[in-house]
Structure formats: C-alpha cells, structure tokens
Amino acid sequence: MRVNSAIRASKVRLIDEAQNQVGVVERLAALNMAQEAGLDLVEVSPDSDPPVCRIMDFGKFIYEQKRKQREGRKKTHHHTDVIKEIRLRPETDKHDIQIKVNHAREFIEKGYRVQFTLVFRGRQLMHQEQGVEVMKNITAMLEDIAKIDSPGKMANKRMILVLMPAK
C-alpha cells in the first residue's frame, strides 16, 4: 500500500474519513485534505483508473489488520495436533495413578490427545505384564470420554498408550 507522498497518480478517486465518496480530485488536493484532518492518504485500490485513495489513520489500520490476523490464527488452532504426555512407572501406587488419570481426563475434555508413557527400569522389564495391567486399568477409567488412538506397545524400555477424545 502506498501512503501519502508515495502515491504516484496525478488524480485519485477520494473517500473521506467518514467513508463518503468525494470523487476524482488532484493528488495534492487529496493530500491537503488528509493533512487538514490529521490523517493519512492511503491508496486502497491501485489497479483501478483512477486509483482509489482513502483518508484514514494508517497506523491504526495496520494495527487492526494484524489483530484480525492474530484472531484468525487463534481460531484455527486445533488441540488434536498437541499430545500431552503423562509418565508412569509399573510400581506407581493406585492413588497416584488415579491423580494422573484425573489430569488426563481434564486434557481430553479440553480436546487434547494424551500419551501415557510407562517407563521400565532394570528388572522391571521382566514383568511387562504389570505394565499391561496398568494400561488396561487406565483405558477402563477413561473409556467414557476417550478412545484408543494407538494401543499400549513397547518401544525400548517404554510402553506407550495414546488416547484421544471420543467425540
């Protein structure tokens, strides 16, 4: 966008600050009108003949454009792309598991996917059935609001279960 003295056309179609169409005027006359109003002369449509210019506060206009873009980006954010991770151990107490499941429930209700990671260390790897049992209990506790995205599977020393909202 060209502003004030950057406008090259000798004649412009002018729209004043009250959004009224003034008509085709000389560029210098339009600049004088904008300066008298304490605003800027902004070329809105450079392709038309003559170019359309509007008297407005250019800084405020740019600010509002950026704000609209920010708001648009906020509305397009999807929680399904974000995965919240909750880590456990095979010997984690039932009460602690319940607390972690409650956190997961909050995440799922907000629309996030939740990944439970069960970390095995040392001899715990020999008793992977404990981990499978913990994962079954977790899925049973959350079956009313979540469905399994990927089942509990081993990856090195970790068992991973991903749940997603059942919407």
Please check whether residues 48 and 88 belong to one and the same domain.
Answer: no
Q: Tell me which of 54, 73, 92 is where a domain ends.
A: 73
Please check whether residues 110 and 87 belong to one and the same domain.
Answer: yes
Mean residue pLDDT across the chain: 87
Closest Cα partner for 116 from 162, 70, 151?
162
Here the CATH number for the domain that contains residue 139 is 3.30.110.10
Please check whether residues 159 and 83 belong to one and the same domain.
Answer: yes
Please check whether residues 55 and 100 belong to one and the same domain.
Answer: no
Q: What average pLDDT does range 61-65 have in this prediction?
A: 90
Structural domain of 54:
4-73
Are the C-beta atoms of 27 and 11 separated by less than 8 Å? yes
Give the whole-angstrom CA distance, residue 159 versus residue 82: 20
Please check whether residues 83 and 145 belong to one and the same domain.
Answer: yes
Task: Specify the pLDDT at position 80.
Answer: 55
Please check whether residues 89 and 54 belong to one and the same domain.
Answer: no
Backbone torsions φ then ψ of 47, nearest 5 degrees:
-80, -20
Q: Strands 146-155, 158-165: parallel, antiparallel or unpaired by DSSP?
A: antiparallel
Complete DSSP assignment for 93-133: -HHHHHHHHHHHHHHHHHT-EEEEEEE--GGGGGGHHHHHH
Give per-residue pLDDT as tens, 11-24. 999 998 888 888 89
Give the whole-angstrom CA distance, residue 28 versus residue 97: 74
CA distances for 19 relative to 55, 142, 144, angstroms:
9, 57, 55
Here the CATH number for the domain that contains residue 60 is 3.10.20.80
- Residue 147: partners with Cβ closer than 8 Å, 6 or more residues away: 163, 164, 165, 166
Q: Tell me which of 17, 44, 73 is where a domain ends.
A: 73
Reported as a pLDDT band with limits 50, 70 and 90, residue 72 is confident
Q: Using only the alpha carbons of the chain, give its radius of gyration.
A: 31
The answer on pLDDT for 27 being more than 80 is: yes
Q: Tell me which of 42, 73, 104 is where a domain ends.
A: 73
What is the domain count for the chain? 2
Task: Specify the pLDDT at position 148.
Answer: 84
Q: Residue-wise over 14-34: b if at least 16 C-beta within 10 A, else e?
A: bbbeeeeeeeebebeebbebb
